[in-house]
Chain A
Amino acid sequence: MPHRWGMAVDLDRCTGCEACVTACHAENNIPTVGPEQAARGRAMHWIRVERYWEGDFPDVRLKFRPVMCQQCDAAPCEPVCPTYASHHTADGLNAQVYNRCIGTRYCANACPYNVRFFDFFNPQWPKPLHLQLNPDVSVREVGVMEKCTFCVQRISAVRTQAKAETREIKDGDIKPACAQACPAKALVFGDLNDPESEVSRLSRSPRGSKLLDDLGTLPKVTYLARPSDS
Chain B
Amino acid sequence: MSKDSARRISAMNEDLLRPLVETSWRFWLLVAVLGSIVATGLGTWAYQMYRGFGMTGINMPIYWAFYITTFVFWIGISHAGTLISAILRLVNAGWRRPVTRCAEVITAFALMIGAMFPIIHLGRPWLFFWLMPYPNQRMIWPNFRSPLVWDFFAISTYLTGSLLFLLLPMIPDLALVRDKTTGWRHRVYGVLALGWQGTPKQWHRLESAMQIMAIAIIPVAVSVHTIVSFDFSMAPVPMWHSAIFGPYFVAGAIFSGIAALIIAMAALRKFLHLEEYLHPVHFQNLGKLMLMMSLLWTYFIFNERLTVWYGNASAEREVFLVTQRGSFAPLFWTMVACNFAIPFVILSIKKLRTITGCVIASFTVVIGMWLERFLIVVPSLGHKYLPYTWGHYRPRPVEIIIVASTFAAMVLLYVLFSKLVPIISIWELKVGEHFVADATPQEAAEHPLLKAHP
Contacts and interface: CB of A to CB of B under 8 A. Distances in A.
Contact of B59 (A41, A52, A106, A142): A41
Nearest to B393: A41
B228 to A, nearest CB: 13
A108 B381 CA distance: 10
A143 B59 contact: no
B328 interface: no
B130 A120 contact: no
A76 B235 contact: yes
A142 B130 contact: no
A143 B122 contact: yes
A117 to B, nearest CB: 6
B148 A52 contact: no
B236 interface: yes
Nearest to B130: A83
Interface string B47-71: 0000111100111111110000000
Contacts of A103: 53, 122-124
Interface string B110-144: 00000000100111110110110000000010110
Contact of A102 (B52, B122, B237): B122
Contact of A110 (B237, B385, B392): B237
A146 to B, nearest CB: 11
Contacts of A197: none
A41 B52 contact: no
A48 B60 CA distance: 13
Q: How large is the interface on A (under 10, 10 to 19, 20 to 34, 35 or more residues)?
A: 35 or more
Secondary structure of the B side of the interface?
loop
A114 B60 contact: yes
A42 B60 contact: yes
Nearest to A211: B386
Contacts of A80: 145-148, 234-235
Contacts of B61: 41, 108-109, 114
Contacts of A43: 60
Q: Which of B121, B127, B131, B386 has the most CB of A within 10 A?
A: B386
Contact of A119 (B123, B127, B387, B392): B123
A84 B54 contact: no
Contacts, number: 142
Contacts of A215: 236, 385
Interface in A71-123: 76, 79-84, 100-106, 108-110, 112-114, 117-122
Contacts of B385: 112-113, 212, 215
B69 to A, nearest CB: 14
B147 A102 contact: no
B388 interface: yes
Contacts of A113: 385-386
Contacts of A121: 51-54
A162 B381 CA distance: 43
B114 to A, nearest CB: 16
Given A80-B235, A102-B124, A118-B123, A143 B64 contact: no
A144 interface: yes
B54 A120 contact: yes
Contacts of A120: 52-54, 58
B236 A112 contact: yes
A19 interface: no
Nearest to B389: A114
B375 to A, nearest CB: 16
Contact of A109 (B59, B63, B388): B63
Given A81-B146, A217-B236, 9 more contacts: A41-B60, A67-B386, A82-B143, A102-B124, A104-B122, A106-B148, A106-B235, A110-B234, A120-B52
21 contacts: A41-B62, A42-B54, A80-B145, A80-B148, A80-B234, A80-B235, A82-B149, A82-B152, A83-B142, A102-B125, A104-B122, A109-B61, A109-B63, A110-B234, A110-B236, A114-B384, A114-B386, A118-B58, A120-B52, A142-B52, A143-B52
Interface of A: 37, 40-43, 48, 50-52, 67, 76, 79-84, 100-106, 108-110, 112-114, 117-122, 141-145, 212, 215, 217
Interface of B: 51-54, 57-64, 118, 121-125, 127-128, 130-131, 140, 142-143, 145-149, 152, 231, 234-237, 381, 384-389, 391-392
Which 7 residue pairs are nearest across A and B when measured between Cβ atoms? A103-B123, A143-B123, A120-B54, A41-B59, A105-B63, A121-B52, A143-B124
